[in-house]
Amino acid sequence: MTPDYASPHPVVSNQRRVVLALLHALRPHLRGDRSLPTRIESLIKADRRFGSRDRRLYRELLYTAVRYLPWIEGRTDDEAIGLIGHLAAELPATHGFRAAFGAGPLPDGLDPDELLPAWLRAECPAAFEPAVRTALCARAPLWLRLQVDDPAPVAAEFASLGWTYTPSPLRPDAWAVDGDRDLTRTDAFAHGLIEVQDLGSQLILDTLALEPGGHWLDACAGAGGKTLQLARLLGPAGRVTAHDVRPGALAELEVRAHRAGLRSIVISRTAPTGLFDGVLVDAPCSGTGTWRRSPHLKWNTTPEHVARSARLQTELLRRFSERVHPGGRLIYATCSLCRSENEAIVAAFLADRPEFTLEPPAQTFGFPPGPHGLAILPGRHDTDGFFVASMRRA
């Protein structure tokens, strides 16, 4: 390592030393470890000298380095620290570091296209448009979804904590919370009044214009973010059967449903049978739409990962389409940007199953619908990336 900056601030000089040491320890894993977030947490928590503010600072600085990895690699220590300080989000924890090391201009010759893997261009050319690319490389906002009709108790608690938030103009019950907040420590979370859920994820069900009532299957429910939202949209006259092959995810969903007081959700740990008025296949995918939250995946996701996901998605859509009642709806969704996992899957399915027809989205939120579904891209509404297609069985 090169010598420290000459600085009148011993605190930030020490922070610089720590960041460089942490980056040195992580360097062999930055482009190959799909569990990098766990590694980062273990590394930060291993030093008992770090308080909660220190952990927030180093976590943010390390994730900044991962987001902009091609610009950081191969730099001198001074250059790397300057870039990280310049590019890190402005948060209370990072303010001093940014002021000390991030004041200078960015170096000349930085290519923004380097911040996304080259293979993505064939799968999603729109990802390289400046607004989308900038959003994909930026820190994601903290979105929540209100699970009560009256937001006053949540707003009052946030005010008492000094927290600020911005409701989305698309969904008044979707709030972007400012700063780095732990919502799970609030009374609102404990009593099921809020759930953490990206705005783009919330918009998926808004494209469907669901009517209250009916029995739906959430076939790949996971921990249940969309399951809870679906149950609220269907109302007390509706019912949602939630299925997943991961017992741990269903156990978490059970806790969340109980906390939210949603008694219309039925957990199914075995393969569901019978027919449903609607089936949601929120399929496992490469996660390319979540890169702003999981930036390490940019550097270790490959076309082979996408191809494997596409094969699984094809099978899941085929299998669970059998559970749709005649006249019912089949919804296919992913958090992927890739055509191979989105439009191509729907096109092949419709060609094979002519009894299903594509329905236009009820809302598009400014995104142009394609011939096989709607892509919700980062940038326009500060969301993650998603895809949704609605089909009706004859």
Cα gap 308→286, rounded to integer Å: 9
N-to-C CA span, the chain:
67
Report which secondary-structure segment, H or E, holds 67. Answer: helix 52-67
Q: Which residues touch 69 (CB under 8 Å, ≥6 apart)?
A: 30, 31, 295, 298, 299
Amino acid at 384: D
DSSP H helical ranges for 237-374 = 247-260, 297-300, 303-321, 343-352
Answer yes or no: are the C-beta atoms of 155 and 148 closer than 8 Å.
no
The amino acid at 278: G
> Distance between CA 155 and CA 345 in Å, rounded?
42
- Report the alpha-carbon distance of residue 328 to residue 310 in Å, rounded: 24
Q: How far is the C-alpha of 163 from the C-alpha of 305, rounded, in Å?
A: 40
Q: How many CA atoms lie within 13 A of 339 on its CB side?
A: 13
Cβ atoms of 109 and 16 within 8 Å: the answer is no
In angstroms, the CA 248 to CA 151 distance is 31
How far out from the chain centre does Cα 129 lie? 20
338 is catalytic: no
- Residue of 220, 285, 335, 338 with catalytic role: 335
How far is the C-alpha of 377 from the C-alpha of 286, rounded, in Å?
A: 15
Residue 240, classed as helix, strand or coil, is strand
Query: Given CA atoms 218, 272, 393, 352 in this order, what sign does their dihedral have?
Result: positive
Q: Which two tokens stand for residue 306?
A: 């996408």
Residues annotated as catalytic (active site), given as ranges: 335
